[in-house]
Amino acid sequence: MDEQVTLFLEMAVGPVLPEWIRLLPLGTVELVDNREPFTVDQESLEVMVEAYRQRGVDLVIDYEHQSLKGERAPAAGWIKDLEAREDGLWARVEWTGQAEEYLKAREYRYFSPVLRLDAKGRKPLALLHVGLTNVPAIKGLAPLVARYGGEGVAAEVQSQAGQTYLALQRELRTAQMEEEEKEVQESLIRRLGSTGEESLAVLVEGFLGELTKALNLAEEAMAADIIAAVRALGARVEHGEAVQEEMAALKVQLKEEVVARVVEEALSQGKISPAQRVWAVEYCRQDREKFQAYVAQAPKVVPVGEELPPFGAGERGSPGLMAHELAICRSMGILPEIFHEAKAEMERARK
């Protein structure tokens, strides 16, 4: 983008504050208050730059030279560097937020440098500070914001800038749309399996023809027909997946019912005790045939349908235990009196 277009864009989006400003022109500098003019030559420029660098601090830009009055003097900006150029003394400025607002609103438009001159008052030796002002002492000083000419020129440039900016925006959007369209076409060509030699229209037509055949549709089927057929196929696939999930759930349920029945049969035969139920269920889940073989060979450990004599008739324990309670004690190796005490404690807790 060339400098003219950059200028147009700057003026279109609003005033642009300069980072570098020319504080003094090279040659004779005339003043507006009838004071004698002074001369700026290359030697005086170099002397002022050297004095600034020897000082080693930033120079302040204040408002209305308040630094000279001994009053509160807030900074409008700071001079960060000075350069002696072919057309005069230039300063690199870092503006404060308040100063930017003033300048963009054109509440302040000019500046005024404060200099130390030689004994004859004809050449500047040092730059002391700069003040923002609307009454500059130097004749013909260009405004800080409208620095490309007067107000009329700035307005004309801004109008041209607006038109140029809108034209550039349209060109940019058009270029972006063309690039996006190109990327989409290239992506479609790759996805359709082409080397890129055929046109996109030919590839799409061939793809739709193959899809129509695969869906058993008529050759003259429209896009809406193809979409409807694809959706119907998808629905059938989803239904088939749901049926498979239901069948898998039924298989799991059936397996659990078989395991429960086999374990209950082993319990009813007295081949395992109730305390072995959890172990038996897990064993049967892992390998039902091995579990059934184990049950077939296992001895009866729990009497079924028999009344056992109470404790005290040849066995240690407390009287009153039921036959199945005695069988549990035998199968688990628990002393009958301990079982009786635990049972009595549970009965008391329930009461």
State mean pLDDT over 8-30: 73
**Residues 325-329: contacts with CB within 8 Å, 24+ apart?**
327/273, 327/301, 327/302, 327/303, 328/273, 328/274, 328/275, 328/302
With cut-offs at 50, 70 and 90, classify the pLDDT of residue 61.
very high
CB 12 within 8 A of CB 164: yes
Number of structural domains found in the chain:
1
With cut-offs at 50, 70 and 90, classify the pLDDT of residue 84.
very high
In terms of Cβ atoms closer than 10 Å to its own Cβ (0-12, 13-18, 19+), residue 18 is: middle
| Residue 50 placed within a domain | yes
Task: Look over the chain and give the mean of its residue pLDDT values, rounded to a whole number.
Answer: 77
CB 338 within 8 A of CB 311: no
The predicted structure's pLDDT at residue 158: 47
* Site of tokens 């005490």: 341
With cut-offs at 50, 70 and 90, classify the pLDDT of residue 311.
very low
Q: State how far the Cα of 200 lies from the Cα of 203, in Å rounded to an integer.
A: 5
Q: Which amino acid is at 63?
A: Y
SS3 percent helix, strand, coil of the chain, rounded to 5, is: 55, 15, 30
| Residue 10 placed within a domain | no
State mean pLDDT over 35-45: 90
* Site of tokens 């019912």: 257
Q: State how far the Cα of 280 lies from the Cα of 290, in Å rounded to an integer.
A: 11
Most confident listed range (166-170, 249-253, 308-312): 249-253
Among 42-46, 164-168, 252-256, whose mean pLDDT is lowest? 164-168
Q: What angle do CA 35, 36, 41 make, to 5 degrees?
A: 130
Name residues whose C-beta falls within 8 Å of residue 246's C-beta, 6 or more positions apart in sequence. Answer: none
State mean pLDDT over 30-36: 84
State mean pLDDT over 183-207: 64
The predicted structure's pLDDT at residue 148: 39
Q: Is the pLDDT of residue 281 over 60?
A: yes
State mean pLDDT over 163-175: 70
State the residue range of the domain holding 83. Answer: 17-144
| Residue 263 placed within a domain | no
Q: Is the pLDDT of residue 13 over 50?
A: no
| Residue 83 placed within a domain | yes
| Residue 272 placed within a domain | no
Please write the tens of the pLDDT for every residue from 312-322. 444 444 456 77
Q: Is the pLDDT of residue 94 over 70?
A: yes
Closest among 24, 18, 15, 16 to 112, alpha carbons compared: 24
Please write the tens of the pLDDT for every residue from 125-152. 899 999 999 988 888 888 887 543 444 3
Please write the tens of the pLDDT for every residue from 229-250. 778 877 777 777 877 887 888 7
Write the CA distances from 129 to 35, 63, 77, 132, integer angstroms. 20, 11, 11, 10
Q: Is the pLDDT of residue 52 over 90?
A: yes
**DSSP state, residue 31:** B
The predicted structure's pLDDT at residue 140: 82
Closest among 304, 305, 323, 302 to 313, alpha carbons compared: 323
| Residue 323 placed within a domain | no
| Residue 332 placed within a domain | no
The predicted structure's pLDDT at residue 194: 61
Q: State how far the Cα of 242 lies from the Cα of 122, in Å rounded to an integer.
A: 99
pTM: 0.41
Write the CA distances from 241 to 231, 253, 255, 322, integer angstroms. 15, 19, 21, 54
| Residue 124 placed within a domain | yes
CB-facing half-sphere around the CA of 140: CA atoms within 13 A: 5
**Total Cβ atoms within 10 A of residue 296:** 10
SS3 for 207?
Answer: helix
Q: State how far the Cα of 109 lies from the Cα of 247, in Å rounded to an integer.
A: 85
Q: Could you give the percent of the chain with pLDDT greater than 70?
A: 74
Please write the tens of the pLDDT for every residue from 326-341. 777 766 667 777 777 7
